[in-house]
Amino acid sequence: MEKSLIVKKSKIHGKGVFANRNFKKGSIVIKYNLKPLTKKEFENLSESEKHFTSFENNKYWLFPSPERFVNHSCNPNTNPDLVNKYDIAIRDIKKGEEITTDYRKDNVPGLDMKCNCRSKNCKLVIKNKTN
Ligand SMILES: [Zn+2]
């Protein structure tokens, strides 16, 4: 686990990832070291573990910790770079702020969840464009 990030209880949902130092706009906040899964391995995961997966390039990917605890926000402070597998700060992030991203850009299979991010432009329900 990187020292620049910590996992603790979140007001948005369950656990969240928090900045343990300041991040400048445009810098890499979190790298995604995703573990590839076969279809069978994916199907054998518990329902709660399936929330920590994505489907890209015809493969299932499991998010390790702390990446799996990044919460969605409709007004996120990071933007995913899907090619290089990291989240970039889209504004300056101060130490202690929760790191958030837009799940709709991450191709989470069967994404359909209520949002509790409390931002002004909250969509209330988060769904993939594809479902
Ligand atoms: Zn929201």
At 28-87, the pLDDT tens digits run 999 989 899 999 999 999 998 988 888 888 889 998 999 999 999 999 999 998 888 899
pLDDT at 5: 96
The pLDDT-based confidence of 92 (bands split at 50, 70, 90) is very high
Residue 130: predicted pLDDT: 59
Domain residue spans of the chain: 5-127
Centre of ligand 1 to C-alpha 125, Å, is: 7
C-alpha dist (Å) from residue 38 to 43, 44, 61, 83, 105: 9, 10, 9, 21, 22
| Average confidence score pLDDT of the chain | 90
The CATH number given to 5-127 is 2.170.270.10
The rounded Å distance from CA 119 to ligand 1 centre is 6
* 86-89 β-sheet, strand order: 28-31, 86-89, 78-81
Q: Is the pLDDT of residue 131 over 50?
A: no
Going by C-beta distance under 8 Å and a sequence separation of 6 or more, which residues neighbour residue 72? 12, 13, 100, 101, 102, 103, 113, 115, 117, 126
Cα–ligand 1 centroid distance for 77 (angstroms) = 13
39 CA from centroid of ligand 1 (Å): 30
Beta strands 112-114; 125-127: pairing state:
antiparallel
